[in-house]
Amino acid sequence: MMNKKRPKHLALHKIKLPLPGFVSILHRVSGVLLFLSIPLLLWLLQSSLLSIETYTQLTEFTGHPLSKLVLLGLLWAFLHHFCAGIRYLALDLHWVSTLAQARASSWWVLGVSLLLTLLIGAKLC
């Protein structure tokens, strides 16, 4: 029998989530963001292949700073989802077996995804 008094109302703002929890939430958010962006990305592809006029309009559209910011966000979502997916595969294959390794891999996922986003974004802009 448990003698702990559990809260009747869970205060979510008082819970301290560990870094692997944030990586997990970001993995899900990036997956949803990528899924919802499929129509936009398919429209961009179609516009780029349709004719030279639509390609010119597309380059003007993607040249806008807000468009670049959205595309940079999608690039981060892809890279984070990819890196976190590799981390989860490593966890499932028991290549990462200790708590310290799991926490370190969370830092690596965040660092590598942000670094790759900055490098590729700088190259594309």
pLDDT digits (tens, 9 = 90+) for 11-40: 777 778 899 999 999 999 999 999 999 999
Task: Enumerate the H helices of 1-98 as residue ranges.
Answer: 19-36, 38-50, 52-62, 65-92
The CATH number of whichever domain residue 59 belongs to comes to 1.20.1300.10
Other CB atoms within 10 A of residue 39 CB: 9
Any domain includes 85: yes
Whether residue 12 lies inside any domain: the answer is no
The domain of 97 spans 38-124
For the chain, the domain total comes to 1
Residue with more model confidence, 16 or 61: 61
Neighbouring C-alpha atoms within 13 Å toward the C-beta of 89: 6
* In-domain check, residue 58: yes
57 versus 12: the higher-pLDDT residue is 57
In angstroms, the Cα distances linking 7 to 3, 12, 17, 125 are: 13, 11, 18, 51
* 47 pLDDT above the threshold of 80: yes
Interval 74-92: pLDDT, tens: 999 999 999 999 999 999 9
Residue 100 forms part of a structural domain: yes
Q: Is residue 49 part of a domain?
A: yes
Q: Has residue 71 been placed in a domain?
A: yes
- Taking 80 as the threshold, does the pLDDT of residue 117 lie above it? yes
- Say how many CA atoms lie within 13 Å of 85 toward its Cβ: 10
